């Protein structure tokens, strides 16, 4: 029983790290990596619920699989945008509009 609890705790820790990374860092790529770490943490928690003694519950696996694909799609879109921004202009820290509070 303690096995999956251990996994969930690590998952939570991973989420913590991911959250801190995404909020604290301002560099886009760092932020993206942090978000992925957080995603993995969540998937870990989800998977930790699958083990019930002898029976393994297939639902979390399917869900996590779909989650991974979606996360990839999201990350690749962000990368694509970051790359285009990088190509477009030198001004890296452009404020979108003056009075954006």
Q: Which of residues 56-85 bind another protein (CB under 8 A)?
A: 56-63, 65-67, 69-71, 73-85
Number of residues that bind another protein (CB under 8 A): 72
Residue 6 lies near another protein (rule: CB under 8 A):
no
Residue 13 lies near another protein (rule: CB under 8 A):
yes
What gap in Å lies between CA 96 and CA 86, rounded to an integer? 15
- CB 94, min distance to another protein, A: 6
What gap in Å lies between CA 48 and CA 45, rounded to an integer? 5
With 0-12 CB in 10 A as exposed, 13-18 as middle and 19+ as buried, what is 4? middle
């Amino acid at each position: 029983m303690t096995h999956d609890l251990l996994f969930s705790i690590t998952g939570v820790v991973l989420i913590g790290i991911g959250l801190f990374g995404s909020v604290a860092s301002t560099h886009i790529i760092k932020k993206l990596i942090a978000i992925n770490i957080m995603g993995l943490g969540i998937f870990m928690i989800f998977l930790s619920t699958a083990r019930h003694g002898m029976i393994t519950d297939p639902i979390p696996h399917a869900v996590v699989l779909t989650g991974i694909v979606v996360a990839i799609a999201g990350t690749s879109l962000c990368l694509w945008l970051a790359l285009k921004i990088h190509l477009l202009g030198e001004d890296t820290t452009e404020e979108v509009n003056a009075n954006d509070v």
